[in-house]
Amino acid sequence: MASHFDRKPWYRVLYVQVLIAVVAGIAIGYCFPQFGKSLKPLGDGFVKLVKMIIAPIIFCTVVHGIASMSDGKKLGRLGIKTLIYFEVVSTFALIIGLIVVNLWKPGVGFHIDPLSLDPSIGKGYAASGQSHTSVDFFLNIIPKSYFDAFASGDILQVLLISILTGFALSFMGDAGKPVLEALSIGEKIFFGIMHMIVKVAPLAALGAMAYTVGSHGISALGPLVSLMIGFYVTAAVFVIGVLGAICWAAGFSIFRFIGYLKEEILLVLGTSSSETALPGMLEKLKRLGCAESTVGFVVPTGYSFNLDGTNIYMTMAAVFLAQATDTPLDLGQQIRLLLVAMVSSKGATGVTGAGFITLAATLAAVPSIPIQSVAILIGIDRFMSECRAITNLIGNGVATVVISRSENEITAAELNEALKRTRPDSSQLSVNK
């Protein structure tokens, strides 16, 4: 599995390309400020490309995830346990991110003028910002028609019809399988488009960094680096503190579990996507003693409903952009941001760039923060996506083991004995891949 990445020339690795582009963008912005400012459309164009693919990716992912569930009493019990666990832990992640960014204040002093950013980036999200009361906000989640949600680009509306469609398909049984297969193909198509879009991330990073440094000077990098450091520290505290406590309550060590998944974590580190580690993850969890039905249900569902790293990123990045653009957010607005993030985060996936997508979706429903300000984060998003993906991977692995333990599929003694095997048969993992 690793040999494929070892044979790839270093200059073709997207991570390296983005790193080079960021350095080049900083140099251009510092040495040629006016030229750096002129590269702004590269970043703006990338944001528009990402925005273009948001709705279909979320629709296919959520519908397929719900409709693929098996029938039976265990599904109902497993589903309730899984969704409650996901909601509680995901909310903890959102709250922790919100608390840390308010204490850390990485964006204070950045002073980005929202009027200097391209307003057309958030144009398609205008409808989601019309609500002024709680009643209006929730009524706005209901689209005028099924397809109007896609036409308007309102992500909360897309999530609503996705959930309803997923359950409708699951109730149809075998009759719904042709539609499910078509959605699976559609999902691959839209993921393919997303992968093509991600390939131009180096150009976007170069343009965004050149514009940022050219417009605001080299000191503008300080807030971005501060945000990145704060995010990595927060994610580490969440994994060791929150997930570690959950593991301890279930009778195993978070550190030993992380060691067991080291190959998958390294793979995610190289690709910035937890999706690439899915085959090996499924195999290793089954080898620990988790039932195949539990693994097959919890892990794929978690890829849409339990993205702890993405949740931490969303609240931290959203408040950072408010701080950077001198946009005041009172307690009520931050609570609304939290509630919106609780919904919009459920449409995220393990694909590279999903955190950026859901951040844009969240800002779309919180109009006080200018949607076009997401362009500020393009230069560092690639590096933050690695931390998001690793945190998501560990979080979904812990969730699967904990729910398996609650189903009495494996004892604590059996689990710890399995975790002591420091060298699982990686040859089987490569076959799955």
Domains assigned to the chain? 2-432 (1.10.3860)
Task: Output the six-digit token pair for 290.
Answer: 């988790």
Query: Does the pLDDT value for residue 309 go beyond 50?
Result: yes
Query: Does the pLDDT value for residue 260 go beyond 70?
Result: yes
Query: Does the pLDDT value for residue 251 go beyond 70?
Result: yes
Contacts 24+ apart (CB under 8 A), 140-148: none
- The pLDDT assigned to 243 comes to 96
Please state which of the ranges 81-95, 281-295, 362-376, 415-429 shows the lowest mean pLDDT.
Answer: 415-429
Give the model's confidence band at 97: pLDDT under 50 very low, under 70 low, under 90 confident, else very high: very high
Task: Output the six-digit token pair for 136.
Answer: 């209006």
The sign of the dihedral angle between the CA atoms of 185, 429, 8, 397 is: positive
Q: State whether residue 39 is helix, strand or coil.
A: coil
- In whole angstroms, give the CA distance from residue 263 to residue 283: 12
- Nearest alpha carbon to residue 371 among 421, 426, 410, 321: 321
What's the mean pLDDT in 65-80? Answer: 67
Please state which of the ranges 139-153, 215-229, 350-364 shows the lowest mean pLDDT.
Answer: 350-364
Residue type, 277: A
- In whole angstroms, give the CA distance from residue 216 to residue 41: 17
Give the model's confidence band at 126: pLDDT under 50 very low, under 70 low, under 90 confident, else very high: very low
- Nearest alpha carbon to residue 226 among 40, 37, 93, 377: 377
Residues 6+ apart with CB under 8 A from 325: 110, 112, 113, 114, 369, 370, 373
The H-or-E segment that residue 171 falls in is: helix 155-172
Give the model's confidence band at 136: pLDDT under 50 very low, under 70 low, under 90 confident, else very high: low
Percent pLDDT > 70 in the chain is 75
Please state which of the ranges 44-58, 219-233, 280-294, 386-400 shows the lowest mean pLDDT.
Answer: 44-58
Each residue's pLDDT tens digit, 398-431? 999 999 998 888 888 888 888 886 544 443 433 3
- The pLDDT assigned to 176 comes to 81
- The pLDDT assigned to 4 comes to 45
Give the model's confidence band at 272: pLDDT under 50 very low, under 70 low, under 90 confident, else very high: low
- In whole angstroms, give the CA distance from residue 213 to residue 260: 42
- The pLDDT assigned to 275 comes to 64
Answer left, alpha or beta for residue 351, where phi above 0 means left and psi between -120 and 50 means alpha. Answer: beta
Give the model's confidence band at 55: pLDDT under 50 very low, under 70 low, under 90 confident, else very high: confident
**Across all residues in the chain, what is the average pLDDT?**
77
What's the mean pLDDT in 15-33? Answer: 82
- The pLDDT assigned to 137 comes to 56
Q: Is 405 exposed, middle or buried (0-12, 13-18, 19+ CB in 10 A)?
A: buried
- The pLDDT assigned to 21 comes to 83
Give the model's confidence band at 217: pLDDT under 50 very low, under 70 low, under 90 confident, else very high: low
Query: Does the pLDDT value for residue 242 go beyond 90?
Result: yes
- The pLDDT assigned to 116 comes to 66
Q: State whether residue 1 is helix, strand or coil.
A: coil
Please state which of the ranges 40-49, 197-206, 242-251, 269-278 shows the lowest mean pLDDT.
Answer: 269-278
- In whole angstroms, give the CA distance from residue 277 to residue 97: 25
- In the DSSP assignment, the letter for residue 174 is G
What's the mean pLDDT in 197-206? Answer: 79
Give the model's confidence band at 42: pLDDT under 50 very low, under 70 low, under 90 confident, else very high: confident
What's the mean pLDDT in 317-341? Answer: 85
Give the model's confidence band at 268: pLDDT under 50 very low, under 70 low, under 90 confident, else very high: confident
pTM over 0.85: no
What's the mean pLDDT in 160-164? Answer: 82
Alpha-helical (H) ranges within 68-112 are 73-104
Percent pLDDT > 90 in the chain is 14
Burial state string for 73-99 with b = 16 or more CB within 10 A and e = fewer than 16 = eeeeebeebbeebbeebbbbbbebbbe
Nearest 5°: CA angle at 354, between 243 and 183?
Answer: 110
- The pLDDT assigned to 197 comes to 79
- Nearest alpha carbon to residue 298 among 24, 51, 80: 80
